[in-house]
Amino acid sequence: MANTAALTGINGLRDIRRSPASHLAGAMEAGSIEGTVTLSEGPFQTMAGVRVDPRSEEGARIASVAGGLPARCGEVAGTDRVTVLWLGPQEFLVVAPEEAHDSLGGDLIGSLTAALGDAPGQVVDLSANRTTFELSGPRARAVLEKGCSLDLHPRSFTPGTALNTEVGNIPVVLLKTGDDSFRLFPRASFADYLGRWLLDAMREFASPEVP
């Protein structure tokens, strides 16, 4: 049998790649309640794990490539196309569209690696390590509060804030993208469980309210 990878190359593999929660797409569409709360899996994205001292010369070089580095817990930096999330004092998650990946003609990870050079630190391609869930709507916060210990009230968790936490006992990076919208970054191996947990937590909002 012919080797599919050899015949199609990386671009062919891109066309047949399945996201970690793709098998839940129908359930997420059916379980979403327009105007109340909706759930979907975001597109595949380029992700890089970066370890660097942001105060160093190499940190400044990486910041120029990524559009900045967050200075403290909860902060988000970057540009319109690149998002940089704070994971620790010297640890960051860089997220960009799929086409930013070097194998597809982009240069983000290669540029980050070049910016680090031989200095202490690390740049690791984590594009296949996590997936992205988009949860939005007026009841999105109520869904998360069923299994997240963070204070998600708008006075504490404002748009443009990202924190490491757990949702349904699953470790995630939780980013608030708008007043009623959240982005969750779980590891790919937890995508099925977390997707089903979120759908179950949304179920009560599909029922008519009792007067």
Residue-by-residue DSSP string for 67-79: T----STT-EEE-
Q: In this structure, are residues 186 and 133 in contact, taking their beta carbons and an 8 Å threshold?
A: yes
Strand partners, 136: 38, 181
* Tens digit of each residue's pLDDT (9 = 90 or more) over 85-132: 999 999 999 999 999 988 777 899 999 999 999 999 999 999 999 999
List, in sequence order, the alpha helices (H) in the chain. Answer: 4-16, 25-31, 57-66, 108-116, 140-145, 191-202
Counting Cα atoms < 13 Å in the Cβ hemisphere of 5 gives 1
C-beta of residue 196 within 8 angstroms of C-beta of residue 31: no
Position 8 confidence tier, pLDDT thresholds 50, 70, 90: very low
Backbone Cα Rg of the chain: 19
- Average pLDDT on 138-157 reads 96
- Tokens matching residue 39: 């759930």
pLDDT in the model for residue 106: 85
Q: What is the pLDDT of residue 14?
A: 46
Residue 162 pLDDT more than 80? yes
- The pLDDT tens digits for 174-189 are 999 999 999 999 999 9
- pLDDT tens track for 24-60: 999 999 999 999 999 999 988 999 999 999 999 999 9
Token representation of residue 32: 């979403």
User: CB neighbours of 30 closer than 8 A, spacing ≥ 6?
Assistant: none
pLDDT reading at 134 higher than 60:
yes
Residue ranges covered by each domain of the chain: 21-42+131-205, 44-128
User: What integer pLDDT is reported at residue 47 of this predicted model?
Assistant: 95
Return d(Cα 207, Cα 105) in angstroms, integer: 47
Nearest to residue 194, comparing CAs of 211, 176, 208, 174? 174
Question: 44-128 falls under which CATH superfamily?
Answer: Heterotetrameric sarcosine oxidase (3.30.70.1520)
DSSP 210: P
Tell me, what's the pLDDT at 59?
97
Find out whether 180 and 140 touch, Cβ atoms under 8 Å: yes
Distances (CA, A) of 36 to 28, 39, 208: 14, 11, 12
Class in CATH terms, 21-42+131-205: alpha beta
Question: Does the structure show a pLDDT above 90 at 204?
Answer: yes
pLDDT value at position 209?
Answer: 59
pLDDT at 48: 96
Question: How confident is the model over 153-170, as a mean pLDDT?
Answer: 96
N residues, the chain: 211
Is there a shared CATH topology between the 21-42+131-205 domain and the 44-128 domain? no
pLDDT of residue 208 exceeding 90, the answer is no
pLDDT in tens, 55-78: 999 999 999 999 999 999 999 999
- Per-residue pLDDT, 121: 96
